[in-house]
Chain A
Amino acid sequence: MGPNLLSNYYETAAMVLFGIGFTTLFLQPNLIKKVIGLNIMDSAIYLFLAAKGYIDGRLAPIVVNGVTDMSAYINPIPSGLVLTGIVVGVSVTAVSLSLIQKLYKEYHTLDMDEIMTMVRKESEH
């Protein structure tokens, strides 16, 4: 187990980062920190994907000097997936940030727990 984790250090790092991001998003009461956690989680997956697509000693999949032999380049599909993932991640982040901004204007705090108590008080009236 140990040596495998070390030799696949990209994947190990990605999984550790994913865990950090996931728990931050899940447990952190501060909304901005939650979004940061979301971004760490997403980046961890991109790192994992990019590491999976990389083949040692090969070039980025852009044809240069007319070399069209497949064995000269790395696998382009994971890179494509990372790009799509980044687009999704950016839009999700934008939506969450704008929601958080609206909430802040309404309740003047970024703490999710405080907001929930205020909402509960509001609905009792």
Chain B
Amino acid sequence: MPFVANFPLFCIIITLAGSVASSVLNGKNAFRLNILIITACLVMNLSLLAYLVTNPQQITYMMGHFPAPWGNETRFGPVEALIASVFCFIMLVSLIAGKTDIFEDVKPEKLNIFYVMINLLMSSLLALVYTNDLFTAYVFVEINTLSACAVVMAKENGKTISATIRYLIMSLLGSGLLLLSVILLYDLTGHLLMENIQQVMVQLMAIGDYRLPITIIIGLLTVGLAMKSALFPFHTWLSHAHGSATTASSAILSGLVLKGYIILLIKVYYRVLGLEIVSGLKVLNILFVFGLLGMIIGSIDAISESHIKRMIAFSSVAQMGYIYVGISLGTPAGYLAAIFHIIVHAFTKPMLFSAAGGLASAADHKYYLDQMKGSAYRNPVAAVAFILGSLSMIGIPFFAGFGAKYYLSMAAMTNPDKMWIALLALAVSTVLNAAYYVRAIRAVFEKSDEPLEKHKNSKSYNIGMGIFIVANMALGLFYQKIVDIIALGLNYL
């Protein structure tokens, strides 16, 4: 086994260790340590990705060389390494771009706690991507939930705490269903490791006795993870959590936390249950309907919202709808589109949130569109990023969002039953996307009567936004490479 195979475990361990160490540091040093650790994770994941792309394979890594059921396992191929690299990268850039806001919004004596939570969040995200054991996945889902809640409530005013408690309750309902489904799966198959479950699953389907329990299990698991990843109709908590949280928290919550659960869902569908079983049980049709409704209703909600961050949050609901539609097509092309959409959205949405944060701080920390007149002239960096992000989300060619929509419509062609509805909904929601993003752009570019004063951005904000802009442009131009890696990796998922 190559040495790079150790890296996923190393990443999980150093982020966990970093969270312990941050608890005794002051805020500034905790920030530095955090940046250092996440950069290290990024480098390790990228080198793992490079190795796995040149030597395509699936590596099963037994911790301490103990086979199941005594030991625990991670298992990974190119897709996992790619997703983990993206997560590390976005986390890093969001933290750099959001640094000033974090230092303003969080009480100085609690700053290090914020970074403890960020470390835990990173660790649990990586564990969700890499783990091969369903119960471990459940434990890390809970860690993810708790640390995400803490990150959302970092401002500690009434609004954020009430938003957090709504998020927490929704998440706990989801965790309960997820745990129940994992336990039922264990009860039915006697295993917790993914491929052992799959072997038994194939036998059970061959006998044909257990269709009803398996349907119930898939249903519970899907609903549980959908609740946590804000699929319509479980999306109401998202806009509140985003509207009041600090900039970096919104960016991380929308760009990464929601995605971790979807990656887990894709892994369970692909690796634990197998595509044929999932497609055969009609659960996907229900997911398809809710995905479509999410695409449309998320966009409509965004149109009627005048708070800029809540508007972008509703746009996230719509984007989650796209991803779930991709999954629910049930074909490998659909999964490819879903995973690619996850990556595109992870690149674009944090940039939009950071840009919105910058525009708002140029407009005296006001978040309603009618109060943000002229903020684009005061903060041109944020304005450029906001325009690029909007164009990408609408799906203009040469931007990453176009690629995502292109692959989703190509995937829709592979499923003749769902093709027309999916394409129609895609078209409608693209128009709706354009409606609210253009409105927001016009609002921030409207000339205001007040004299124009250049807002002075902090250095870290400019660096972070610069990286975001370059990364998004690069993704828009070279997305074929990413798609090739995903297509390669799906064979080893």
Binding site for B on A (CB under 8 A): 18, 21-22, 25-26, 31, 34, 38, 41-42, 45, 48-49, 52, 77-78, 81, 84-85, 88, 91-92, 95-96, 99-100, 102-103, 106-107, 112, 115-116, 118-119, 122-123
Contacts and interface: CB of A to CB of B under 8 A. Distances in A.
Interface in B131-177: 135, 138-139, 142, 145-146, 149-150, 153, 156-159, 161-162, 164-166, 168-169, 172-173, 175-177
A25 B169 contact: yes
A107 B172 CA distance: 23
Nearest to B168: A96
A45 B161 contact: no
20 contacts: A25-B169, A25-B172, A26-B169, A48-B183, A78-B186, A84-B139, A85-B179, A88-B139, A91-B146, A92-B146, A95-B149, A95-B150, A99-B149, A99-B153, A99-B164, A99-B168, A100-B165, A106-B158, A107-B162, A122-B158
Contacts of B172: 25, 38, 92, 96
Contacts of A77: 69, 192
A85 B180 CA distance: 11
Contacts of A102: 156, 161
A25 B168 CA distance: 11
Interface in B425-458: none
Contacts of B156: 102
Interface string B96-107: 000000000000
A96 B156 CA distance: 14
B176 A25 contact: yes
Interface of B: 69, 135, 138-139, 142, 145-146, 149-150, 153, 156-159, 161-162, 164-166, 168-169, 172-173, 175-177, 179-180, 183, 186-187, 192
A88 B176 contact: no
A2 to B, nearest CB: 17
A64 B180 CA distance: 33
Given A77-B69, A81-B135, A84-B139, A31 B158 contact: no
Given A31-B165, A45-B180, A107 B158 contact: yes
A77 B192 CA distance: 10
A45 B176 contact: yes
Contacts of A25: 169, 172-173, 176
Contacts of A42: 176, 179
B158 A96 contact: no
Given A92-B146, A103-B162, A106-B158, A41 B183 contact: no
Q: Which 6 A-B pairs have the closest CB atoms?
A: A106-B158, A88-B142, A41-B176, A119-B162, A52-B187, A102-B161
A32 B131 CA distance: 34
Contacts of B183: 45, 48-49, 52, 81
Contacts of B173: 22, 25-26
Given A22-B176, A49-B183, A106-B158, A96 B139 contact: no
Given A45-B180, A88-B142, A119 B168 contact: no
A35 to B, nearest CB: 9
Contacts of A45: 176, 179-180, 183
B135 A96 contact: no
Contacts of A38: 172, 176
